[in-house]
Amino acid sequence: MTDNSLDDPAEQDQDFTLTVDAADAGKRLDAVLAAHLDALSRNRIQSLIKSGDVTVGGAKIVEPKYRVNEGDALCLTLPEPEDPEPQGENISIAVVFEDEHLIVVDKPAGLVVHPGAGNWTGTLVNALIHHCGDSLSGIGGVKRPGIVHRIDKDTSGLLVVAKTDQAHKGLAAQFADHGKTGPLERAYSALVWGTPSALKGTINANLARSQANRQKIAVVKTSGRHAVTHWQVKERFGNDDQPALASLMECRLETGRTHQIRVHMAHVGHPLIGDDDYGAGFKTKANRLDEPLKGLIQGFNRQALHAGLLAFEHPANGKTLRFESPYPADFANLLSGLQKF
């Protein structure tokens, strides 16, 4: 499947386009779009098809079960943004930087970025609507005003949010480019099980929705979305005469797919500590440890991932802005416990 899309419509303009390849030929239209567009559920895609927002070769197709052919040009157009449905809520947020164009926040673990199934309130969007009032960009869609990029609920760290449509378009272009031609940088600190044999490397493995569990992402050999993660070992923890128990790693994204770091690190045998979705099989490691490290790991109820560095070009004045976030208390405590191991 060839496409020019992102994994999240909040990071792009309103169109998602792709060309059907041989692997997807003969499949249902809704199934093909769902497999290549992580941010929208299949039910949402079916609704968009029925409302005439999807074309095949320029012709509107309103039947989700329409079978696509190799070479078909598919285009999904998101509806124009409406007034935000979510209500502002007085939720405390850590503002790192703010002007009339954008706001940078340091998101705590546990805070969902935007409303969705099971989290219609209490999100960062609700907090931003309260904090910014009417000054948020609407281009991100009805439930995601201003959102340019996302991090998982249980990942902590830095996010930039647009306050104008112009800023949103400028930031979205940088995230689409992934820093290839501009100053965009995103670096994550991760505490992972074990340690790679090398000190640095690159994981290049396509990602797609898991066929076994649509809530999860999996590495796939064919089709899927191109995904590249660059990693570097910063510190290893363990006894000198034994393989390292764990490592502190820095991960930099060349692409921005859903759960990318978590899935890629699990794929190479070093899942994130605390990641029940992709590293559940490593829970027994903690059971064999002595206190207090055993308790620290067992009590760490999220993936050990922190978005600690964010840099980008200001979409209005062209200046490079660079922000760093210190480790949150839970991450810092776990790191300290590993360093004492």
Q: Which residues form the catalytic set?
A: 152
Query: What does the block give as tokens for 44?
Result: 């949402």
Query: Environment class of residue 118 by beta-carbon count within 10 Å: exposed (0-12), middle (13-18) or buried (19+)?
Result: exposed
Whole-angstrom distance, CA of residue 148 vs CA of residue 170: 10
Ramachandran sector of residue 304 (left: φ over 0; alpha: ψ -120 to 50; beta: rest): beta
Task: From residue 162, give the alpha-carbon distance in Å to each of 58, 67, 118, 132, 238.
Answer: 32, 38, 25, 11, 43
Spatial CB neighbours of 235, under 8 Å, sequence gap ≥ 6: 247, 248, 339
244: nearest Cα among 256, 253, 234, 252 = 234
The single-letter code of the amino acid at 163 is: K
Cα distance between the two ends of the chain: 47
The single-letter code of the amino acid at 267 is: H
